Structure 1
Amino acid sequence: MATKFRYQSDRPVTRSKYRLLLGKLFFTWRRYFQWYFSRSTQYASTFQNLAFPFKVADHKTPLYRQLKNVDRWLQENKVTNLKLAVSKINGLVLKPGETFSLWRLVGKPTKAKGFSEGMVLKNGSFVPGVGGGLCQLSNLIYWMTLHTPLQVKERWRHTHDVFPDANRTQPFGSGATIVYNYIDLQIKNVTPNYYQLQINVGESDLEGQWRCEQPLSHKYKVYESDHLITQEWWGGYMRHNVISRQIFDLHNNQLGDEFITENHAIMMYEPMLTGSI
C-alpha cells in the first residue's frame, strides 16, 4: 500500500539574483561533468526509424489549453519547441543497462537552434522563455514510464499545482518538470529487453509510446492516495498526495503495490475552482 508522507508546509522562498546565478553555474557544470566523464552511466544514443513490434505504454496530452491571462502565441510557440525537441528523441532505442537523459539528447534550447519563447512557469506565474513548454514532453514520458518496468532514475516534481482538475486525466503530481540542464528526466533500462521511445506532435495532441521487442508479462495501474489540500500560515494553499502503482499479471492477478513518490505543491488557483484558469 501507499506510504504515508510527512506533511510539508513549503513557504515560497525568494533568493538573491547572485545566489541563483552561482547555484545555476555550479549545477549546470556538474551535469556536464556527469554526462561526459561519468564511467558508471551509459547514456542511450541509438535510433531506429522502424517501430518495435510491441506497444507497452502510450499516452497523449492536448497541445492547447484555455488559460486565463496567457497569450495564445505562447502556446503556438510551445508547439514549435516541442517539434524541435521531439526530432531529437523520436525513435530512441534504450538498450539494457542504458540511461535516457532528456536534456542530453535535446540539448540547450536556444534561438539559434530555432527555439521560440514559450510558456515558462516561474515563481508561481507564467512568463515567456526560450524553449518554454517542454515540460509537457517530460510529463508525457514520465507518465508513460510509470506503466513500464523501466526505472525512473531522476525526476523532479513541480513546485506549483498549475491547473484545476477539470478535464484532468492523471492524478495531481504525476508529471516531471525540467530546466536545462540540471533538472533533468532520466530513465534507466534495468530489464534484459530493448525499448524504443516514439513521440509525435499531432494536430491537437502530443502523442507518445514506449515500445519493446518483447510483449510485457505485467500491467501497471498508477493511482494517488493521501490527497490533502491545506491552507498555510503564510496565506496560500498547498496540495499534497502520494503516487503509487499496482502491478498485475496478464490475468489481472495483483502481484504488488509500489510506492512511487510523494508531492507537495503550491496551488496557483483557489481550491474550489474547477474550471480553466
Structure 2
Amino acid sequence: MKPKKRSRLRIKAGSHYFKLKRYMKWYFGNVTFANRILDDHLPHSAASHATPLLRKLKNVDMWLQHNKIKNLQIAIPRLHQVVIAPGETFSYWKLIGNPTKRKGYEEGMVLYYGTFKPGIGGGLCQLSNLIYWITLHTPLIVTERHRHSYDVFPDANRTQPFGSGATCSYNYLDLQIYNPTDQPYQLLVYMDEESLHGEWRTTRKPAHHFEVYERDHRISQEYWGGYVRTNSIYRKKFNLDGELLADEFITSNQALMMYQPLLKAKAE
C-alpha cells in the first residue's frame, strides 16, 4: 500500500471526470432520490448518536474547527427532517449541494492525501461519519460509502471502531442510503453547544437492535517502512428479547498511517 504520487493536473482532471459522471447518475439514472422534508417528527427512534464538535488534534489550529461548525450550520438544514420513503435513496451531496464560498461556507479542515489543509466547506465529513454510523444501527442499506485511505491522527478517546466513518468530497465521494423496508425513515441532525447529534426515526417501534464492532484490527509495517492499519467491521442483529439473529460482515478498512504507532512489544 505504498502511496502513489499524482500530479496536480492528474488529480484535477480526475476530479472533473468523476464529478461529471456523478451528475449523469443523479439526473439520468433510474434511482429515486429522497428530497421530502417533514416538519413533524416520526414517532419512534430507530438509532441515535452524538459526537463532540471540538477535538484537540495535533498541529490543527482551532479556527479550522470553529469554521467547521459554521459550515455544519449551513449544511444541516438541507438534511434535517428529510424522509426516505420505501424504495428511495438518500444522497448526502445531492441534498446538501456544492459547498461554495458564495453560499457562506468557510475554510475548514480538509484531509488531503495523508495530510490536511484549509478548504472551503471543510469539516462536513463529521456529518457524513455520524449519518453512516447511525445508519449501521438500522435496517437501512448503505449503497455507497467511501473509507478514509489515510489514518492521519492518533486515536484520542475513541468510542467507535476504527474505520467506522464515511469520508465525503463533493460530489463524487458520496454517502448513499437505500430504504428496503415498508416504512419511511426520517433523519434528524442538529447541534447543541458541545455536540453534533444524529437520529433516524420511523413509524413503528423497531423490532431489532444492532451492535457494530470490529474484528482483526492490525497494524503492520510495510517493506518500504510505512505502517498500514487494517480491520473489519461487523454487525450483530438481535431481537427484542436479546436473541442473536445474525452476525454479518459490513466492510473492511485499510489505511496508511501518517504517524508513528505505539506498538506493543511481543511477549517472549
Which TM class, normalised by the smaller chain length? Answer: over 0.9
CA distance in 2 between counterparts of 1:26 and 1:191 reads 34
2:46 to 56, 61, 66: 56
Q: Tell me the amino acid that sits aligned with residue 229 of structure 1.
A: I
Report how far residue 251 of structure 1 moved: 0.2
CA distance in 1 between counterparts of 2:74 and 2:223 reads 43
Taking the TM superposition and a 5 Å limit, the aligned residue runs for 1:1-277 are: 10-38=1-29, 40-272=30-262
CA distance in 2 between counterparts of 1:235 and 1:130 reads 34
Q: Tell me the amino acid that sits aligned with residue 142 of structure 1.
A: Y
CA distance in 2 between counterparts of 1:185 and 1:178 reads 7
CA distance in 1 between counterparts of 2:23 and 2:8 reads 23
Report how far residue 242 of structure 1 moved: 0.4
Q: Tell me the amino acid that sits aligned with residue 22 of structure 2.
A: R
Q: 1:184-209: CA deviations, max 9, x gaps?
A: 00000010011000000211111010
Q: Tell me the amino acid that sits aligned with residue 21 of structure 1.
A: K
Report how far residue 222 of structure 1 moved: 0.4
CA distance in 2 between counterparts of 1:237 and 1:51 reads 46
Q: 1:133-157: CA deviations, max 9, x gaps?
A: 0000000000000000000010000
How many residues are aligned here? 263
CA distance in 2 between counterparts of 1:209 and 1:246 reads 20
Q: 1:196-226: CA deviations, max 9, x gaps?
A: 0000021111101000011111111001001
> TM-score, normalization: structure 1?
0.93
Q: Give 5+ residue unaligned stretches, structure 1.
A: 1-9
Q: 1:74-108: CA deviations, max 9, x gaps?
A: 00000001111101100001100000000000000
Give me the identity figure in percent: 56
Q: 1:243-262: CA deviations, max 9, x gaps?
A: 01011000000001111000
Superposed structure 1 runs of 4+ greater than 6 Å apart: none
Structure 2 residue aligned with 1:5? none
